[in-house]
Amino acid sequence: MRMEIRGRTALITGAGAGIGKAVAVRLAELGVNLLLCGRGREKLEKTKELCEEKGVHVELFVVDVRREEQIRQMFGGISQVDYVINNAGVVISAPFEETTTEMMDLAYETNIRGVFLVSKYALPFLRESECPTIINMGSVVSVQGYVDQCAYAASKHALMGMTKVMAKELAPENIRVHILCPGGIMTDMLKEVRPELADGPVILPEDIGDIMEFLLTHRTNAVIDEIHVHRSSKAPF
C-alpha cells in the first residue's frame, strides 16, 4: 500500500549533480522537504532552485562527508530528518598495481566513512520519525569485481557489508536500511571514467528516482535489503 510522504524531510548527500540532483527533484515533486548536502555551493544552489519550484522547503549544507566536525555542525542546524539518502561517492579507476594508498584512502573515506558519519549522526533524528529510512547508494561493483576497479570495488563491497549490519541492528527500532546496486548511470562521473559507455543504453539518474520513490512510499511488512538495476551488462558501475 502506498504511503503519503508529503511534508517529510529528506537529507541527500552529493545533491549537486547526477543521481543526487535527480532524486532531490523527484522527492520535491512528491512534496518532501529537502536538506541538500555537497561540497560545491554553486551546484547545490542550482538543485535548490529546481526543487523550490515544486513548492517545498530546501536548505543547503556545504560539507565534506569525510569530515566529522563538518557533519556534526550540519546536524546541529537540523530539526527534522525522516529519510537519509547517502549518495555522495567517488569512483577510482586504476589497475591494482597502480592503485596508490591515497586512492584507496579517498575511496574509503568518501564511500564508507562518509556514509558511516552521516548515518550515525542522523540516528537521533530518525528515532523521532514515523517512517525512518536510510538508503545507501551502492553499485553493481558492491557484489562484483571489474578490472581497474580495485579501490572502488573494495569500498563498495564494504558498503554492502556495513549496510547489512545497519539493517539488522536498526530494524528493531523500525529504521529501514536499504542499498541500491545499479549498473552504469548516465552521469558526469560515468562520462569521465568510462566515456565509451556514454552512447550506450545505460541507466538514467531519473530511473534511480523511481526506485527511491517506491522504497519511501511502500513501507509494508516486506523489507527490501538491496536492489540491483541493470540496463547494460557492459557498465561496471
Give the Cα separation of 28 and 48 in Å (integer). 10
For the chain, the residue count is: 237
Strand (E) or helix (H) holding 150 = helix 150-170
- Asked if 165 and 119 count as a contact pair (C-beta separation under 8 A), the reply is no
Per annotation, catalytic residue among 83, 108, 121, 152: 152
Spell out where 133-201 has E strands. 133-137, 176-182
Which grid cell sits at 129? 520519525
Terminal CA-CA length for the chain: 32
- Residue 152 bears catalytic tag: yes
Residue 47 half-sphere exposure, CB side, CA atoms within 13 Å? Answer: 33
- Asked if 96 and 150 count as a contact pair (C-beta separation under 8 A), the reply is yes
Give the Cα separation of 176 and 215 in Å (integer). 10
Give the Cα separation of 90 and 104 in Å (integer). 11
- Cell numbers 528493531: residue: 172
Give the Cα separation of 74 and 62 in Å (integer). 9
- Asked if 208 and 180 count as a contact pair (C-beta separation under 8 A), the reply is yes
Residues taking part in catalysis: 152
